[in-house]
Amino acid sequence: MNQEPGDPDRSTALADAIRELAAWSHELDWPSQPDDTRDRFTLLVYDTLAVTLAGAGTEENRALRTVWPSAGGTATALGQGRSPADRAAWLNGAAAVSLELDPASRVTRGHAPAQTMFAVLAAAEEHRADAAETWAALLVAHEVASRFGRACTLRPGLHPHGSWAATGAAAGVARVLGLTAPMIAEAIDVAGGLLLAAPFSVALDGGGARNQWAGFTNHAGLLAARVAATGQGRAPTGAMAEALHLALGRLDTAALTAGPDDRLALHTDFVKQHAACGYTHAVLDAALQLRAAGAVPVDLDRIERVIVGTNSTSAELAGLRADSRLAAMFSLPFMTAVALALGETGPAATSPAVRRDPVIRRLAGRVTVEVDPELEARMPLDRGARVTLVRTGAPDAVAAVPNARWDPRHAPATWDDVRGKARRLLGPLGVDAERLEHWVRDTAVTRGPLPALIDEFGAFGTPAEEPPAFGEQAGARSQESGTRSQE
């Protein structure tokens, strides 16, 4: 058997860091957290639940629930009803990322809420956990996962979903189960051996596996905590260090227990305004500025070229493929074309009707993506974009933004921002966004059992029909614009 020898020092350092994280996880008290931490984390949970409910309403996630039947259970599969904990954690995790609207962090390089919180909520419902303990477990899961994300450098071509975040889900579930600090450490260590080497190309190609990686991570967290709960395990071995070294990349163990300040990683999470990969957001903001300024002609064929200036990471999304919702959300040319044409960057932007529209597809084909040296030099602190319209019979029009809207380092999303987002997403499903907010806020201060999600958000009706194709939208837009300049 061929096996590369492990590095004892590397594994020992990781085992020590895991024990330190586990001790912190065991002692964390939710009511004692600073006000700004509790407020921000409550907002992130609200946002994640809202986008998950919206994702659960999509045709693809309804279909997945249909072919994965359930005879009931103790946990909630959002949008459907009672479900076994493992199934609920997987389905909710997959739904959370399916619209690319769930919170993400460019510092920790991943989507910690979607990849951890549904394992915790499923375990909490299954074990009728205390509300304050559940919120402590949610925060533990997010922070442990985020620290592993910050410490990991994946090999080029790998996607962060399905890899490091299971460690956080495991720590959170272990906290729900009331495990000791050594057992929490074991849960984290076991999760470190349950990793996926997920190729980023699957996301770019719109492959169906990509959304399931978040479901897998939640499921793996449940499994790892249960293994630790048997009491048959052993002290941490640092298995994840070897997994990363041999297959996935590398791990900076010092980053697991040290940070630039005392604030938790959740303060770096980016609430997403646009239903698209986060690396498209600054470009979409600039495109929407051009549309708002009247620079987009009603006849889109008068746009000869659209030049997108961005950083090298965002430029990797220059593909034109848009034959699925996921592929479209990872295509800078397509999303830029839709933003210019319709002023739409929500879930409707990647509906089948819009993806098939020939006018939008032609415009997307005229979008070129270039690395702008000035914008590249500002990375990673600033992630700006510049969009230039080259128009027939009119001067070029340019819009530039220094950062995407709602960037947590500059202008983080407010409660009013997230409320508006939730209303827009949940209204077509008949889900009361205000009721969801009340559930989140009330449980965050409840001293007693966690109110079951099933009683509030277990099922909803059929979503509104798909938006009309661009031709109909364009007709309506030209009527509304009246005498607006054609330039």
Q: pLDDT > 90: what percent of the chain? A: 67
Band (pLDDT 50/70/90 cuts) for residue 482 is very low
Distance of alpha carbon 186 from alpha carbon 233, whole angstroms: 7
- Whether 289 maps to a domain, the answer reads yes
How far apart CA 77 and CA 20 sit, in angstroms, is: 34
Tell the burial category of 343 from Cβ atoms under 10 Å away from its Cβ (0-12, 13-18, 19+). middle
CB 264 within 8 A of CB 257: no
Quote the pLDDT of residue 233.
Answer: 60
Q: What pLDDT was estimated at residue 142? A: 96
- Tell me, yes or no, whether 266 and 319 share the same domain: no
pLDDT of residue 460: 61
Q: Which helix or strand (DSSP H or E) is residue 24 part of?
A: helix 8-27
In this structure, the dihedral spanned by the alpha carbons of residues 212, 214, 215 and 216, taken in order and rounded to 10 degrees, is 90
In whole angstroms, give the CA distance from residue 282 to residue 385.
5
97 Rama sector, left if φ>0, alpha if ψ -120 to 50, beta otherwise: alpha
Angle at which helix 35-56 crosses helix 85-97, to 10 degrees, equals 90
Domain assignment of residue 86, yes or no: yes
| Structure-block tokens of residue 297 | 């002609």
CB 366 within 8 A of CB 350: no
Domain shared by 398 and 288, yes or no: yes
Number of residues that this document lists for the chain? 487
Note whether residue 450 is domain-resident: no
Mean pLDDT across the stretch 365-369?
97
438-464 average pLDDT score? 76
pLDDT of residue 240: 67
User: Which of 244, 270, 296 finishes a domain?
Assistant: 270
Domain CATH number, residue 44: 1.10.4100.10
Predicted pLDDT of residue 352? 94
Count of domains forming the chain:
2
Choose between 463 and 356: higher pLDDT. Answer: 356
Give yes or no for residue 303 having a pLDDT over 70.
yes
**From start to end of 117-217, where are the E strands?**
152-154
**23 and 136, same domain (yes or no):** yes
Neighbouring residues of 190: CB distance < 8 A, sequence distance ≥ 6: 170, 223, 224, 227, 228, 233
Q: Does the pLDDT value for residue 320 go beyond 60?
A: yes
> Could you give the angle at the alpha carbon of 242 between the alpha carbons of 238 and 245, nearest 5°?
135
pLDDT at 477 over 60: no
Lowest mean pLDDT among 36-40, 226-230, 298-302, 460-464: 460-464
Structural domain containing residue 240: 8-270
3-state secondary structure of 249: strand
Q: Name the domain boundary from 270, 294, 320.
A: 270
236 pLDDT tier (thresholds 50, 70, 90):
confident
pLDDT band, very low/low/confident/very high, at 57 (cuts 50, 70, 90): very high
Instruction: Answer yes or no: do 248 and 320 share one domain.
Output: no
What's the pLDDT at 35?
Answer: 95
The CATH number of the domain holding residue 291 is 3.30.1330.120
How far apart CA 418 and CA 414 sit, in angstroms, is 6
Residue 461, in any domain of the structure: no
State if pTM tops 0.85. Answer: yes
In this structure, the answer to whether residues 263 and 215 fall within a common structural domain is yes
Residues in CB range of 69: below 8 A, 6 or more apart? none
Q: Which two tokens stand for residue 164?
A: 């490091």
Read off the pLDDT of each residue in 252-277 and give the average, rounded to a whole number: 83
Confidence band of 479 (pLDDT split at 50, 70, 90): very low
Same domain, 293 and 186: no
Q: How far apart are CA 75 and CA 71, in angstroms?
A: 12
pLDDT per residue as tens digits for the range 435-450 = 999 999 999 998 888 8
398 burial via Cβ count (<10 Å: 0-12, 13-18, 19+): middle
User: 256 and 122 in one domain?
Assistant: yes
